[in-house]
Structure 1
Amino acid sequence: MDNRRYDLVLRGGRVICPASGIDGIRDVAVKDGRIAAVEEAILPSAAAEVVDVSGKLVLPGMIDTHAHVYQYVTGRFGLNPDMVGVRSGVTTVVDQGGPSCMTLPGFRHFIAERSQTRVLAFLSAYLVGGLEGHFYPNLYSPDGVDIDATVKSAVENRDLVRGIKGHAEIGGFARWGIKVMEMAAEISRRADLPLYVHFGQLWGLPESGANGEDADTIMERVIPLLRPGDVLAHPFTRHPGGFINEEGEVHHIIRAAMDAGLKVDVGHGSHFSYRVARASLPAGVIPYTLGADMHGYNTEVPEAPQPAGTPDEHHDDENHPFLGQARFSLTQAMSSMMALGIPLEQVVPMVTSHPAAMLRMSDQLGALTVGFAADVSVLHDDRGRFLLRDNEDTKVVAERLLRPAFCLRAGKRFEADSPILPQAIAA
């Protein structure tokens, strides 16, 4: 008879669990797919397996608040969820606006239920969801929104739908004004879910130009529609209509909005500029969460056979707004924050306890709490001089680089072997 109390012990790592107030060398024990103990020392003989993680960081399973994983349905945007998730050291991913009220059943069946990664969604306010909108912007007009149907879909799928996704970008405003954002805000209010708002140019301007719209006024018109807990995305975007005005200054309304309870998500990806971040951080624009925002347009995805009939006529188009980003990951985004002067101890909550709160799932995720599912991310914490770059090709030298080693998802181990993970570049 096997009397060992635990299935697995992660031994000797630096455990950082902001929700529990733990930051120190600890052992973490797992039993039946759940966290069983977090203690200064656990006897190796008490576990069927012991993994030495000394010198590594042991975090609650990381949560990527901005993913695009509706593979195939959203065209080149959608990446494989496990490639972005467990194979990149991330245990939970939140698809931002891929599924809609029309396509959510397929998302549930083919993505959420078939992935090793926990997959959640912010439901698109648009009937078409997250298609390749920069090619088909007219699909995102007010006529493409059904408030009642989207509210119904969100309410009936609360286990999967944790928020609503909307866009406040100059291309949409130039075509239809603020109407679509007003409709998205109504959906979020009626469904009692947070609204995640994209800022920064995305779809391009109509042929007639900006139609009298001023990108610098979008922010101050949209924020009054929002409520505490809603999320402002892409604070460090270089694109017009973001947090920075044409004079290079942070919009005066941002700080007041944050003080009033609105949250900021980095949404790294194609909308991250070190130049803009260096202007924003001193003004108090400290992100609450840190979504990676990886998708097929900004991530070097290895060639893979495409299903028969997959359209590829747009894949070589150089006019889309996402060019210029090489491989990256959620841990690379964390390293970027640290390179900008935000300490590790402030970055860890951005991928653990804060997103759990944003998702209203702090009773299940984001902490190494006994009884919670054993979602654990184990990271390398490399020291040296490493070259990081953004999609403006601005380069910075980081003295610390975080890389995923492996993760546990409900106690099952997954190696960080995703082919999209960046390679460390010495400076």
Structure 2
Amino acid sequence: MVDLAGTDILLKGGHVICPASGIDGIHDVAIRDGRIAAVEPSIPPAGAAEVIDVSGKLVLPGMIDTHGHVYQYVTGRFGLAPDMVGVDSGVTTVIDQGGPSCMTLPGFRKFIAEPSQTRIYAFLSAYLVGGLEGHYYPNLYSPDGVDIDATVRSAIANRDLVRGIKGHAEIGGFARWGIRVMEMAAEIARRAELPLYVHFGTLWGLPESGANGEDADTILERVIPLLKEGDVLAHPFTRHPGGFVNQQGEVHHVIRAALDRGLKVDVGHGSHFSYRLAKKAISAGVVPHTLGADMHGYNTHVPPPAGTPEAHYDDENHPFKGQARFSLTQAMSSMMALGLSLADVVPMVTSNPAQMIGLTDRIGALKVGYAADVSVLDDHRGRFLLRDNEDTRVIAERLLTPAFCLRAGKRFDAKAPILPQAVAA
């Protein structure tokens, strides 16, 4: 019998789902010295310093958001406060997608990753400028703005923080520079031996398909041959040209073969997500591997502190308008509203992201000895209204919301001001 004397926290009576351990049922979770001490059907409460009744709640490995934008201030309006997106939203790990570059990574480490309560990793931008507001300054993202050698050196020297490379395959860049930037990003990822996370769907300055002879519907078939097993295709359900569903409304013919040879799919929900197109792709067998929320300052409204006037911006003509409030759990609810089960969705925010970044030995599971990163969710039943960025509305019979999380055994209640309120249908 496991000696649980000195248990700091006992989570009692919750529905524990840990895909990596094969657990799906009512279990207790004991935590000691910031680590998982035991996960058992029943653990006596005697000896626990604190017992938290989580009956009726879901208890998951600490959720991992595979698509965050948390390089606050440096990336303009894109960067949100890391802990607001992270632990204050019930998420214990956030992967920033392309905020820092080889030039700005030291600042990201010192001012974002190190002081945050949330566990923070980065997919390093292939571009020297990183994740600045490229829709305003697209020329910064030309081949001249990429230094392959410098980015490879930075990624290798910062393995603890950098878990992948971020690139963009979209009509704006292709109309300006062709495929060269994507070739360079793929070379960086190969040489650094890291996954490449590829944005699909319009981004840089919105040139129309057909500009300079480029067709958005050919981008996927030209980019996929550059990619290796474990690389990630992002925004499969984008409402913008260049995604998995072509302009004739058909799922692109190259997708099935790409998945069969080990490429992965990340939802990258955010401003790009379309229920209409997601239904088509899912019905064709495209089930995402991971579920990034893709929240940033353009698609997520952050209420100002009390007594502070609301910020107003003159230019709202950008491609990123989205949810007024959002969260990773709302993205999970979206996927279930599309017909996926809870058992389908939980791995997308736990074990699969840990695999994506090569850290299954420490996160993404409730295993004895792992850091006590735990997400506790409320599981509401009823009829709830969800909507996407095309204003398509769906009725969800199940809505997940964060209650609290533990990050290395420290409790954080879900109090982020960006968390959406449930809207009954």
* TM-score interval, smaller chain: over 0.9
Output one character per residue of 1:56-100: Cα deviation in whole Å (capped at 9) or x when no partner: 000000000000000000000000000000000000000000000
Identify the residue that residue 301 of structure 2 maps to in structure 1.
300
CA deviations on 1:25-50 (whole Å, 9 max, x unpaired) are 00000000000000111111120100
Give secondary structure in 2 for the equivalent of 1:44: coil
Which aligned pairs between 1:23-422 and structure 2 lie closer than 5 A?
A: 23-205=24-206, 210-303=211-304, 315-422=313-420
Aligned residues of 1:101 and 1:149 also touching (Cα < 8 A): yes
Query: Within 1, Cα distance between the matches of 2:305 and 2:150?
Result: 36
CA contact (8 A) 1:264 1:289 kept: yes
Whole-angstrom distance in 2 between the partners of 1:366 and 1:397: 30
Matched-pair contact (CA < 8 Å) for 2:270–2:322: no
Q: Percent identity?
A: 81
2:149 partner amino acid? D
> Partners in 2 of 1:259 and 1:206 — Cα distance?
32
1 CA distance for matches of 2:147 and 2:373? 36
Q: Structure 2 counterpart of 1:35, which letter?
A: I
* Equivalent-residue separation in structure 1 for 2:381 and 2:70 (angstroms): 32
The one-letter code matched in structure 2 to 1:62 is M
Deviation digits for residues 197-249 of structure 1 (CA, Å, limit 9, x no counterpart): 00000112459971110000000000000000000000000100111111100
Q: Which range moves more in the overlay, 277-286 or 315-324?
A: 315-324
Whole-Å separation in 1 of the counterparts to 2:224 and 2:339: 28
Does structure 2 retain, via aligned residues, the 8 Å contact 1:175–1:206?
no
How far residue 324 of structure 1 moved from its aligned partner, in angstroms, is 3.7
| Equivalent position amino acid for 2:68 in 1 | A
* Deviations 1:147-205 (CA, angstroms, capped at 9, x unpaired): 00000000000000000000001000000000000000000000000000000001124
Quickly say closer, same or farther: Cα 1:213–1:207, change in 2 above 3 A.
closer
8 Å contact 1:174–1:205 — kept in the other structure? no
C-alpha root-mean-square deviation of aligned residues, in Å? Answer: 1.5
Deviation at 1:4, TM superposition (A): 3.6
Question: What is the distance in 1 between the residues matched to 2:419 and 2:23?
Answer: 28
| C-alpha contact (below 8 Å) 1:4/1:48 kept by paired residues | no
Q: Do the aligned residues in 2 keep the contact of 1:324 with 1:393 (CA within 8 Å)?
A: no
* Residue identity matched to 1:284: G
| Change over 3 Å in CA distance of 1:313–1:92 after alignment to 2 | closer
Q: Secondary structure at the match of 2:167?
A: strand
Shift of 1:314: 9.2
Distance of 1:314 and 1:212 partners within structure 2: 38
Shift of 1:304: 5.1
Query: For the structure 1 residues 397 and 417, does the alpha-carbon distance in structure 2 shift closer, same or farther, using more than 3 Å as the test?
Result: same
Q: Structure 2 vs 1, CA of residues 13 and 147 (structure 1 numbering), >3 Å: closer, same or farther?
A: same
One-letter amino acid of the counterpart of residue 128, structure 2:
L
Amino acid at match of 1:348: V
Alpha-carbon distance in structure 1 between the residues aligned to 2:206 and 2:402? 39
Distance in 1 (alpha carbons) for counterparts of 2:364 and 2:210: 44
3-state DSSP of counterpart to 2:144: helix
Measure, in 2, the Cα distance between the counterparts of 1:424 and 1:158: 40
Question: For the residues of structure 2 that align with 1:364 and 1:10, how far apart are their CA atoms?
Answer: 20
Query: Aligned letter for 1:166?
Result: G
Q: Please tell me the residue identity of whatever aligns with 2:384.
A: F
1:398 counterpart letter in structure 2:
A
Report if the CA contact (8 A) 1:76-1:315 is conserved.
no
Gaps of 5+ in 2: none
Q: Residues 385 and 399 of structure 1 are in contact (CA less than 8 Å); yes or no, is this contact kept in structure 2?
A: yes
The letter for the 2-side match of 1:18 is: P
Tell me the residue number matched to 1:16: 17
Deviation per CA, 1:120-161, whole angstroms, max 9, x where unpaired? 000000000000000000000000000000000000000000
Structure 1 runs not aligned, ≥5 long: 306-311
Change in 2 beyond 3 A, CA 1:263/1:111: same
Letter in 2 for 1:389: R
Kindly provide the amino acid, as one letter, of the partner of residue 220 in structure 1: E
SS in 2 for 1:280: helix
Equivalent residue pairs, number: 419
CA shift at 1:316, angstroms? 3.1
Q: CA deviation at 1:303?
A: 2.1
1:317 Cα shift?
1.1
The CA deviation at 1:318 is 1.8
1:309 equivalent in structure 2: none
For residues 63 and 361 of structure 1, what CA distance do their matches in structure 2 show? 11
Aligned-pair CA distance for 1:319: 1.3
Q: Is the 8 A contact 2:298 2:322 kept in 1?
A: no
| CA shift in 2, pair 1:87/1:349, >3 Å | same
